[in-house]
Structure formats: C-alpha cells, structure tokens
Amino acid sequence: MKIVVAIKQVPNRDAPVRIAAGGKWIDESDLEWAMNEPDAHALEEALQLKEQHGGEVIVVSAGPERVAATIREALAKGADRGLHIVSDDLGARDALGVARLLAAVIKPENPDLVLTGLQSEDLGLGQTGVILAELLGLPHATLILHVEKTDAGLKVKRELEEGWFQSIDMSLPALLTMQSGGNKLRYATLMGIKRAKSKEMRAVSAAELGIELAPVVTLEQISAPKKQKSTQILSGSAKEAAAALVEKLKTEARVL
C-alpha cells in the first residue's frame, strides 16, 4: 500500500506572533517552526497503516529551504521518502495554487491513498485537501478520525457535529483529510533520527513543475484581534437570569 502524506510547516503555536510591516502577513524573522498538528495526525495514521499492512509512506511538503527540517522529522518518525517542493512564494499562493504544486508531484507516484490534515494551524482554510482530491481525480472524505483497511478498500470514521460520527466504506485510491485527536502521536526515536539521514529526500522547485503563480484569491490584510470588554446585566428572577446566561454562553460566547 503506497500512501502519500501532505504536510505543512507552520509557526510553532507558542511562538510570539507579530504582524509584518506591510500588514499582509506575520513577521517570520525570529519564529520557530513545527509540523502542522492535523498533518502530524495524518502522518501517524499512515504509519500505523504501513505497520499493519506493509507498503510505503511518502511525505510531501512545499515551502522554502527550512521546510526540509519538517520533512526530516517525518522521516525520523518512520516515513520512507520525502518530496520537497522548494517555493519561496508559498504565502502568495492560495489553496488552489498550493494544491496544484502538491498534485504535480503526487500524481506521478500513483498512490493508493493520499492523506492530508483537515486544515492548517496558520490559515485554517480547510480547502487544500479537497481541492487536491479534485485535481487528482480521487474520491475523498473529510473530518476523518480513523482509517481501517478492508478487502474492498477502506472503512473510515468521520466526526460530525454534536458528538455524532459517521462510518463510510470507500474504494481505493482515495484521499482523506484527517482530524486531530484520532490517534496518539509518536516521538522520533534516536535510531529513527539516525536512519532519517540516509533516507531519500528529493527536492524540486516550483519553477521546474511549471506551476505559475496566479492566485484566484489574494490576502489583502491581516490584523490582530481587538480586545474589548463589555458588561451585561441580566434582569428577572434567579431562574430567568440563569436561563438567559446559559443561552448567551451557547449562542454568543459559544462555550457550551
């Protein structure tokens, strides 16, 4: 079973984030970088499938030279090969543009299964995986928590709203976008780190792929969320005030 996992390098969630001078993106000068968490769960699912059924796990990622470190991390955890699409203009490419880059290197691999994270922790668009499925001509399912190999193909568990789940039978080849929390992430062992140094990691430039920078959607400006405080007095009896409070926590604060 050949599985391709698309991963993205994103700013570390604990890193201090400042908006760049132009106001179009964040200042990347002194950020720490990490593997996108949903993509890490996609990688873990691929590694578990390989351990159970054999085959090969290939990781692919697009971005500047620093992305190679994240690919090496995936190789240290157990992936077999890495594909690095070297692109210094990834931030200027929309979800369709990024998906085109990924499709260009994934299609020749002719994989049985393509896994991506549900969304990235920096932009959170949740579009790249499903667009990639369309470009590759593969059936797809989203919000996947667990994948089981069957004689006919796959059985996947999807997370729905309000604690509901859905089980779907799918044929192969297919593409799945993985939800966080469906499996327990592994750490790279010392032996895995040593082995990663000898594993193949092929680099190809975006120019070599011939994918032009022609975004359909452009990011014009970003801004920090405004901090504001407000006070509301709930009138009526204690019972009425409690009911009103619960309703506001559900509909306005969205914490219940």
Q: Is the pLDDT of residue 97 over 90?
A: yes
- Measured CA angle at 16 (ends 95, 228), to 5 deg: 90
CA 15, CA 97: separation in Å to the nearest integer?
A: 27
The model's confidence at residue 13, banded by pLDDT at 50, 70 and 90, is confident
- SS3 letters for the chain? CEEEEECCEEECCCCCCCECCCCCCECCCCCCEEECHHHHHHHHHHHHHHHHHCCEEEEEEEECCCHHHHHHHHHHHCCCEEEEEECCCHHHCCHHHHHHHHHHHHHHHCCCEEEEECCCCCCCCCCHHHHHHHHHCCCEEEEEEEEEECCCCEEEEEECCCCCEEEEEECCCEEEEECCCCCCCCCCCHHHHHHHCCCCEEEEEHHHHCCCCCCCCCCCCCCCCCCCCCCCCCCCCHHHHHHHHHHHHHHCCCCC
Task: For residue 158, give the nearest of 168, 175, 144 by alpha carbon.
Answer: 144
Q: How many CB atoms lie within 10 A of CB 111?
A: 24
CA 201, CA 183: separation in Å to the nearest integer?
A: 26
Q: What is the pLDDT of residue 1?
A: 92
Tens digit of pLDDT for each residue in 72-82?
999 999 999 99
The model's confidence at residue 137, banded by pLDDT at 50, 70 and 90, is very high
**Taking all residues of the chain, what is their mean pLDDT, rounded to a whole number?**
92
Q: What is the pLDDT of residue 130?
A: 96
Q: What is the pLDDT of residue 117?
A: 95
The model's confidence at residue 154, banded by pLDDT at 50, 70 and 90, is very high
**What is the amino acid identity at position 112?**
D
Q: What is the pLDDT of residue 92?
A: 85
CA 156, CA 147: separation in Å to the nearest integer?
A: 5
Q: Is the pLDDT of residue 175 over 90?
A: yes
Q: What is the pLDDT of residue 158?
A: 93
CB-based contact 203:88 (threshold 8 Å): no
Which whole number is the average pLDDT over 9-33?
86
Q: Which residues contact 111 (CB under 8 A, 6 or more apart)?
A: 2, 3, 4, 58, 173
Domains of the chain with CATH codes: 2-209 (3.40.50.620), 228-256 (no CATH)
Q: What is the pLDDT of residue 253?
A: 76
Q: Is the pLDDT of residue 48 over 90?
A: yes
The model's confidence at residue 28, banded by pLDDT at 50, 70 and 90, is confident
- Measured CA angle at 133 (ends 6, 105), to 5 deg: 50
Task: For residue 74, give the nearest of 41, 98, 52 by alpha carbon.
Answer: 41
